[in-house]
Amino acid sequence: MKPVIFQPETLLATAVGKPVPAPLGEPISIVRSASLTSSARATNRVGMWECSPGRWRRQIVQAEFCYFLEGRATFTPDAGEPIEIAAGDVVHFPENSLGVWDILEASRKIFMVFDEEPSA
């Protein structure tokens, strides 16, 4: 297995914007995302994501590590307090981190989605 190098802007250049799958009111966020799949495990991927303002339910059940390049958002976990996120923040979402996104300003992040192994 060898390292993968990608330019986030190039990766996202061909992505088509789509409405989020579970919007919660208006405006409905439009998301663009593109990713590369891991050669070790097909469910693991790394990529670039951007989203317009709006409110919606997070659908990803895998763990996610991400770095916000632009924007401002709030994530409210189903069982927890709201988390304020802004450009420059690094965030780890453990598996099954479901909740509600409030994208307050157009946001952009680099992400890695992966399966966490249970501890022995």
Q: What is the amino acid identity at position 78?
A: D
What are the DSSP calls for 55-88, one per residue? EEE----SEEEEEEEEEEEEEEETTS--EEEETT
Q: What is the pLDDT of residue 4?
A: 74
Residue 14, CA distances (Å) to 2, 9, 10, 11, 33 in order: 25, 9, 8, 7, 9
Q: What is the pLDDT of residue 118?
A: 59
Domains and CATH numbers, the chain: 22-114 (2.60.120.10)
- pLDDT for residue 74 is more than 90: yes
Q: What is the pLDDT of residue 6?
A: 80
Q: What is the pLDDT of residues 60-73, one digit of tens each?
A: 899 999 999 999 99
Q: What is the pTM of this model?
A: 0.88
Region of residue 80 (phi > 0: left; psi between -120 and 50: alpha; otherwise: beta):
left
The whole-chain average pLDDT of the chain stands at 91
